[in-house]
Amino acid sequence: MISNSDWWKKPREIAVMVDTPGWFDQHAERLVAQIKEQGDNAVFHRSHSDLDQPDIVFYLSCMKITPPDALSKARVNLVAHASDLPRGRGFSPLVWQVLEGASEIPIRLIHAADPVDSGDIVLSDSVFFEGHELNDEIRLRLGERIVALCLSYLAAPEPPRERPQAGDPSWYDRRGPEDSRLDPERSITEQFDLLRVVDNLRYPAFFDLRGHRYILRIAKADATDEDATAQEDER
């Protein structure tokens, strides 16, 4: 725990690090804007080498391990992770939990530490799903809760106290293209959670049948689609 909290007074220097372009960028940009609105200075960074001497760095949706020399630049280094740590350390924890049938996904704001995802827990939240949400909706809700958690941390009257992770750790492996494979012998219902989490552009669902590979992309029907279907039925 940081004992000297004099530096906690605004304006503080905040860095938001997203080391790989992707779905979280829009949330990172919104977080930077809201941090500035609340009286701190904030910068969106893509590379560790760009960090100066920030007070706080939020590492969000990062794919690379942060080197010790980068961590040493800041007073506080925080990571958002979507699992009930220490269970579910590793890659794509939200996706793996959706595939396991979970409807409530814990989110933990933790100190960056070695080994990865082992740092003390600073704040906790959860995101809830009803079971129909597709990838874009899942990411949107997760991004919104992560932004809210970071803002809550900064809004605290003093540096929030952390607590160590408790229990036996488990680990999720990195997902690859093969993890989007469908089984043509099983029903859509049985495989719907997999269809919910596939990325239609980067790793779409697919299956092999009769010597060929088929790609499936999923989207919810909007009102226009439903009206068109109804008109076809009336013909």
Domains and CATH numbers, the chain: 6-172 (3.40.50.170), 177-234 (3.10.25)
Q: How large a percentage of the chain has pLDDT more than 70?
A: 93
For the stretch 46-96, pLDDT in tens is: 999 999 999 999 999 999 889 999 999 999 999 999 999 999 999 999 999
What is the per-residue burial (b if ≥16 Cβ within 10 Å, else e) of 127-159?
Answer: bebeeebebeebbebbbebbbebbeebbeeeeb
Confidence of residue 201 (pLDDT cuts 50, 70, 90): very high
pLDDT at 228 over 60: no
CA 11 from chain centre, in angstroms, equals 27
For the stretch 104-158, pLDDT in tens is: 999 999 999 999 999 999 999 999 999 999 999 999 999 999 999 999 999 999 9
Q: From CA 66, how far away is CA 114, in angstroms rounded? A: 10
Q: From CA 168, how far away is CA 11, in angstroms rounded? A: 39
Residue 15: which of 39, 3, 23, 47 has the closest Cα? Answer: 47
- The sign of the dihedral angle between the CA atoms of 194, 94, 61, 38 is positive
pLDDT at 3 over 50: no
For the stretch 155-180, pLDDT in tens is: 999 999 999 999 999 999 999 999 99
Q: What are phi and psi of 9, to 5 degrees?
A: -70, 145
Q: From CA 157, how far away is CA 162, in angstroms rounded? A: 15
The whole-number pLDDT of residue 1 equals 40
Average pLDDT, the chain: 93
